Structure 1
Amino acid sequence: MLVQPQSDALNAGVIQAGLKTQNLGQSLHIVTETPSTNTLGLTLAGSGEPHGTVILAEHQTAGKGRLGRTWVSPPHKNIYCSVICRDPRLQPHLSWIPLATGLALSKAIEEDQKITPSLKWPNDLLIGNKKLGGILCESMNREKSTCVIIIGFGINVNADLDDFPQELQESSTSLSLEKQESCNRNRLLIRIFNQLEKWYDQLALNYLDEVHAAYSAACSTLGMDVRCVLTETKAIHGRATAIGKEGSLHVTPLEQDSKKIIEIHSADVIHVRS
């Protein structure tokens, strides 16, 4: 078991001193414990917290994953974070927000740890075949034309193998498990917030070609045989071939004419390996 340095406790002053952002993290809340940073983010957004506000927790008692799943959240080891997004320039590109978030997280981890996670469409970070992190976006009710998005993400930073439930131990990993040394979360968060604002600005400025190219290059789903679970009774088996202009996943069904392409906008995607 790796010993986590005392200096790694989340520290708003340390994080904000390293930021180069205009918005991301300039308003920063750190809590010792909360059911979910996304739930707290929705509450704070409802009370008027500005765009770019960040919520960090040392521990989540009811962390959220996609499709109603639970995000395992051992205390004082990982990153549990939510960002309030209310920039109207991002409204036309909502489908790209989780993808751009994954891209920013991957770039920040590469910069800080010299490890490059791949991106599993639409919202997971992988190292090899193992899950390192995940993204969950939730929206508030529309007020006029503006939709407030809470962008939540979790990254396994200093988790040990026994911090994961037994059923997840073969499919999960952390930065410290990969590098066999502890990672400073404050330093990593500085890089994350700087990268997040960079890639959100790319979307806001309509530089979609750049975002599309960068995401496609980092996405390990492309070229894979996949099973896309749409509902409890409907799934598509095929080869993932491209990312669409709106961030969709293009899949060619294996059992049909190979020229047919299905655009997947939302699904639970499973990489099928021999």
Structure 2
Amino acid sequence: MSTSLLLALSYEQPTSGERLAKEYGCTRAAIAKRINALRDAGVLIDAIAREGYRYGYPYCWWQDMLMQREMAVVAPRLAWHILPSVDSTNHWMREHLKSSATGLMHLAVSDFQRAGQGRRGRQWLSWPGRQMTVTMGLVSSSSPVAWVGVAIAVGVCIAQILNAQGWPVSLKWPNDLWLGGAKLGGILIEMDAMAEGPSHLIIGFGINEHVLSGERESLAREVAALSDAKQPYDRHVLLGQIAASLSTMLESFAETGLAPWHAAWRRFDVLHGCEVNFERNGQWRSGIAQGIDAQGALQIRQGDELVSCHSGEVSVCAI
């Protein structure tokens, strides 16, 4: 699939097939074929009779020049990469870190992710250009134990930035971003521990920017998007702010651990005090969510007992 047409199309006004054919040195039929391939990939493109092609959404594709401007604040401690198309930004990062220097952070984004995964290997749907699909990676000299609970800190960093920009985002343990009672995005942390040498920390997150009504109806759960708030924003600026916050956190987390992030988590914890169902050891139970412990495990009160639940062994849903 060719993505070269992406910057040639506009949301404001149609671009004729004749003009595109002349610009790209091909036939109008070839242009139509490329347009159809983009549509098949999920890009919203309208065909206006006798006028041409126009986007059905005001896309702002990831661009080198804009990314360079916003990432200047975190350079040189973070190297960024725009991937035209990728199966998974997390998978790409895993391979990339094999040749990275220790201590250098990396950030990868893509508007076209074909096979993203969420927690427990679930499929992660990515709508081209309508979702922030981001992975940060770090080769750390610290052992994996030093990074226990980092998903909590990642969630807090992202929630703080989004709240500061006007989105009242909360956090649903262990890794969901919530807006207006629906899932706005998710976080996936992966750690590759080397038998000898450093460990590789991989932080993937996705944030919905715009979801069509038909797409919402096809999903098993309610979802939210940044566009629901109907406030303007620049995705390059927003990502730059999130990257700066995460970079600062990652520089100190292996030394400080989760302790500095407990109070902030309580501010955003959507489950605290709620009755929840949770699955543990193949059995469903219920209790009252009571925040997190020192390692970031969810604490649930069952009568006089306080149970600590770790993300690898439970699924939680509010009753």
TM-score range, shorter chain: 0.7 to 0.9
- Cα deviation, 1:1-45, whole Å, max 9, x if unaligned, reads 996445x21123323323322566x31111121111111111111
Going from structure 1 to structure 2, the CA distance change for 1:152 and 1:49 (only over 3 Å counts) comes to: farther
Establish whether residue 248 from structure 1 lines up as the match of residue 297 from structure 2: yes
* 8 Å Cα contact 2:100-2:139 kept in structure 1: no
* Aligned counterpart, 1:206: 256
Q: What residue in structure 2 maps to residue 119 of structure 1? A: 171
Between the aligned partners of 1:166 and 1:272, the Cα distance in structure 2 is: 22
Q: Cα RMSD over matched residues?
A: 2.4
Instruction: State whether residues 54 and 83 of structure 1, in contact with CA within 8 Å, keep that contact through their aligned partners in structure 2.
Output: yes
Q: Give the TM-score, by structure 1 length.
A: 0.86
CA distance in 2, matches of 1:189, 1:249: 28
Q: 1:55 Cα deviation (Å)?
A: 1.0
Give 1:195's aligned residue. 245
* Structure 1 residues 93 and 227, CA gap change in structure 2 (3 angstroms): farther
Amino acid at match of 1:242: G
1:153 aligned residue: 205
Q: Which of the two has higher C-alpha Rg?
A: 2
Q: Cα 1:263–1:145, aligned 2, differ >3 Å: closer, same or farther? A: farther
What per-residue deviation string (whole Å, max 9, x for no partner) do you get for residues 215-236 of structure 1?
12211121111122235x2233
The 3 A distance-change label for structure 1 pair 35 and 252 is same
Per the TM alignment, residue 204 of structure 1 is displaced from its structure 2 partner at its CA by 3.5
String of CA shifts for 1:50-90, please: whole Å, max 9, x gaps.
63111111011111011121111011111111111223357
Amino acid at match of 2:137: I
Deviation sequence 1:125-158 (CA, Å, 0-9, x none): 0013200000111222424353212111110013
Question: TM-score with structure 2 length normalisation?
Answer: 0.75
Structure-2 separation of matches of 1:235 and 1:149: 32
Q: Which residue type is aligned with residue 263 of structure 1?
A: S
1:99 Cα deviation after fit: 1.0
Answer with 187-196 or 197-206: which moved more.
Answer: 197-206
- The residue type equivalent to 1:249 in the other structure is L
Which one of the candidate residues 58, 79, 85 is aligned to 2:111? 58
On the 8 A contact 1:252/1:259 being kept in 2, the answer is yes
Report how far residue 48 of structure 1 moved: 2.5
Decide whether aligned partners of structure 1 residues 172 and 139 sit closer, same or farther in structure 2, where only a CA change above 3 A counts.
same
Cα separation, 2, equivalents of 1:157 and 1:172: 11
Structure 1 stretches lacking a partner, 5+ long: none
Q: Which amino acid aligns with 2:277?
A: R
User: Where do 4+ consecutive residues of structure 1 move more than 6 Å?
Assistant: none
Residues 20-31 of structure 1 correspond to what in structure 2 (within 5 A)?
A: 20-21=73-74, 26-31=78-83
Provide the secondary structure at the position in 1 that maps to 2:105: coil
Q: Is contact 1:84-1:149 (8 Å) kept? A: yes
Question: Corresponding residue for 1:174?
Answer: 225
Pairs within 5 Å for 1:1-274: 4-5=57-58, 8-19=60-71, 20-21=73-74, 26-48=78-100, 51-89=104-142, 91-112=144-165, 114-144=166-196, 146-164=198-216, 166-168=218-220, 171-177=222-228, 179-181=229-231, 183-206=233-256, 208-231=258-281, 233-253=282-302, 258-266=303-311, 267-273=313-319
In structure 2, the CA distance between the partners of 1:84 and 1:132, relative to structure 1 (3 Å rule), is same
What stretches of structure 2 of length at least 5 have no aligned partner?
Answer: 1-43, 45-54
Does the CA contact (< 8 Å) of 1:78 and 1:185 recur in 2? no
Q: Partners of 2:92 and 2:99 in 1: how far apart?
A: 11
Aligned residue pairs: how many?
Answer: 263
**One-letter amino acid matched to 2:316:** I
Range moving further from structure 2, 205-214 or 64-73: 205-214
Which amino acid is the alignment partner of residue 269 of structure 1? S
